[in-house]
Structure 1
Amino acid sequence: MNFGDSIDAFVSALRFERGMAENTCKAYARDLRIFADWAAEHGKTAADGLSRMEIALFFQDERQEGRKGSTRARRAAAVRQFYHFLRERRLIPRDPTELLDPPRKEQPLPRILTEAEVFAMLDAVNGKDPRSLRDRALLELLYGCGLRVSEACDLELDDIVADGELVRVVGKGSKERVVPIGHAAGQAINAYLASGRAAFVRGRATETHLFATRLGGPFTRQAVFKTIRQRAAAVGIAPERISPHVLRHCFASHMLQHGADIRAIQELLGHADIGTTQIYTHVDSARFGEIHRKYHPRAL
């Protein structure tokens, strides 16, 4: 079986057997095609033609070409799962990645805005026109509930439950969680539903997504990025400092600063591994420095 057919079979299994999100499937396919192109340059057109040493050389070339640690780790995970799938289906006699050490993934600290910066951006979106009402509701929900951009785009009207006090979210791996909607986000959503959303959907009863574009369809990831950066620019926040995921980081970091339990934050974010959440404990170095100076007997 050539590389193309092998990759198609693997991605199909991810999509239909494991139920992985479409964006995840596309990312796996993209990384594996890069691997297949590298193999073709080295005279290999099928997955079973590569040895463990040759695959290790691919990882080495990725590092020497200056790929980020996170990119190399993701690509290595894709290659390893691909070979595991082929061996499991008995499409290859052995798994050459079995004894390979994966590249180490670097863990950069999340970028965050201060509370004052986030509040300034939110408070500046204070118009009563449909677009302002929609954008305020979107921003309040991203910051107030810590949603991923894809989760916000996928929200439907009936995901706002318990009289508007909770939002039902389907996260990575189709895992469902329920997140409280705070007072500010709740007010913004109510205002948008009462006076803003109808202007976008224009009576289209079939459109059930919570957030809609001016064309009446559901919000896309690109539309969310554009909206956030426009609203941030209005209060002087540079575009490279803001994104939907930065607001998710702010949600976690600001809650931690106010004393929230790390396990509770893990549940709210939908992290499967507490280690993913613990990176936020390294962000607020100024606060921890202050605590150390205040309480350690030898700090002063």
Structure 2
Amino acid sequence: MARKPGRKAAALSLSPSLESFLEMLVAERGASLNTLEAYRRDLCDLEAFLSARGVKLQDAAGEDLRAYLTQLSEAGMAPRTSARRLSSLRQYYHFLFTEGRRGDDPALKLESPRQGRVLPKVLEEAEVDRLMTAAQQGNRPEDLRLNLVLELLYATGMRISELISLPYAAVARDPQVLIVHGKGGRERMVPLNESAADALGDYKDVRAHFLRRPGQERWLFPSRSASGHLTRHRVGQMLKELAVAAGISPARVSPHVLRHAFASHLLAHGADLRSVQQMLGHADISTTQIYTHVLNERLKTLVHGHHPLARGMGKPERNG
């Protein structure tokens, strides 16, 4: 009976080569703790599988790795998750090869699992307008904070982790652009539109309401949490409550959905792909290109739903 992937992986101590690989990710790529944990988990699972075959992680052959990928498939793992596992082991063995720890790269000829393209969920512009209208109804400090959170997410496309960790110093002088610290420690500049700037000014007038203990003053969005600032969980709750007030299913609204809306709406209005890539902080433009597929699908839906021929209207009559 095949062992399910993931079991007992965490019980294995890290091999020296794996430790070196993880250290490289931090030193050369500025990998975050979440990224490191994902690589560690993936490669420890592979190590557990190889150990059962009497093979050390560093010494695996191509056939060992193919057997591992086959086991993942037989265990019912989704192609997308299997593809991530494959990416992890490819980078690990490429590291060993380039560092001279192996004379070959056993992952070089491995085939990626077939997977369908999953398009991101996107809100329509009219739905974002409804969210904006609902967020502007109150004048309590909590209302003004929520309005700014929504404005910043939609106006800049920031990740939720980037938003909640914004320092107050970044906005202290009413900036026209925000300097955002993204993945891998990379910085990028994102312009603020007039609506977001107005929401920022309104919130700054009431921000002192949320300052409850020393240390919180450094954050734009201070809170009672252990970190001293709003948590991603709390922001998610706030947006879902706002969705209900706007008459939108809360399941359709999240910080990441607003990031998708930011990108797809920009492209729909003529923004070039490279500019959107820079504002989103994508290292690879292929990641940004997914939004062109979103637009294509929306165009297909528009044609099928509204073109006269698609509705069976206006079909030419056949003679005879």
**Cα offset for 1:49?**
4.0
> For 2:92 and 2:47, how far apart are their aligned partners in 1?
12
Q: Secondary structure at the match of 2:14?
A: helix
Q: 2:243 aligns with which of 232, 235, 238?
A: 232
**Cα offset for 1:142?**
0.7
Q: Tell me which residue corresponds to 2:138.
A: 127
Q: 2:166 aligns with which of 138, 155, 160?
A: 155
Name the TM-score, length of structure 1 as normaliser. 0.85
**Cα offset for 1:107?**
2.4
1:282-293 alignment, distance < 5 Å: 282-284=293-295, 285-287=297-299
Q: Tell me which residue corresponds to 2:219.
A: 209
> For 1:193 and 1:135, how far apart are their aligned partners in 2?
13
Which sits farther off after the overlay, 242-251 or 33-42?
A: 33-42
Q: Is the 8 A contact 1:3 1:47 kept in 2?
A: no
> For 1:205 and 1:21, how far apart are their aligned partners in 2?
23
Aligned CA distance change for structure 1 residues 18 and 253 (closer, same or farther; 3 Å): closer
Paired amino acid for 1:271: H
Q: Is the 8 A contact 1:137 1:185 kept in 2?
A: yes
Q: Where has structure 1 moved over 6 Å in runs of 4 or more?
A: none
**Cα offset for 1:211?**
1.8
Aligned CA distance change for structure 1 residues 287 and 177 (closer, same or farther; 3 Å): same
**Cα offset for 1:169?**
1.0
Q: Is the 8 A contact 1:161 1:167 kept in 2?
A: no
Cα RMSD (Å):
2.9
Q: Tell me which residue corresponds to 2:91.
A: 81
Counting matched residue pairs gives 293
Q: Tell me which residue corresponds to 2:61.
A: 51
Structure 2 residues without counterparts, runs of 5 or longer: 1-11, 309-314, 316-320
Q: Tell me which residue corresponds to 1:142.
A: 153
Q: Is the 8 A contact 2:216 2:228 kept in 1?
A: no
Please state if 1:71 is matched with 2:81.
Answer: yes
Which sits farther off after the overlay, 237-246 or 147-156?
A: 237-246
Q: Tell me which residue corresponds to 2:8.
A: none
> For 2:222 and 2:216, how far apart are their aligned partners in 1?
12
Q: 2:191 aligns with which of 180, 183, 186?
A: 180
> For 2:204 and 2:115, how far apart are their aligned partners in 1?
42
Aligned CA distance change for structure 1 residues 124 and 71 (closer, same or farther; 3 Å): same
Aligned CA distance change for structure 1 residues 259 and 92 (closer, same or farther; 3 Å): closer
Identity of aligned residues (%): 40
Aligned CA distance change for structure 1 residues 161 and 74 (closer, same or farther; 3 Å): farther
Structure 1 residues without counterparts, runs of 5 or longer: 295-299
> For 1:240 and 1:34, how far apart are their aligned partners in 2?
33
Paired amino acid for 2:107: T
> For 1:8 and 1:83, how far apart are their aligned partners in 2?
13
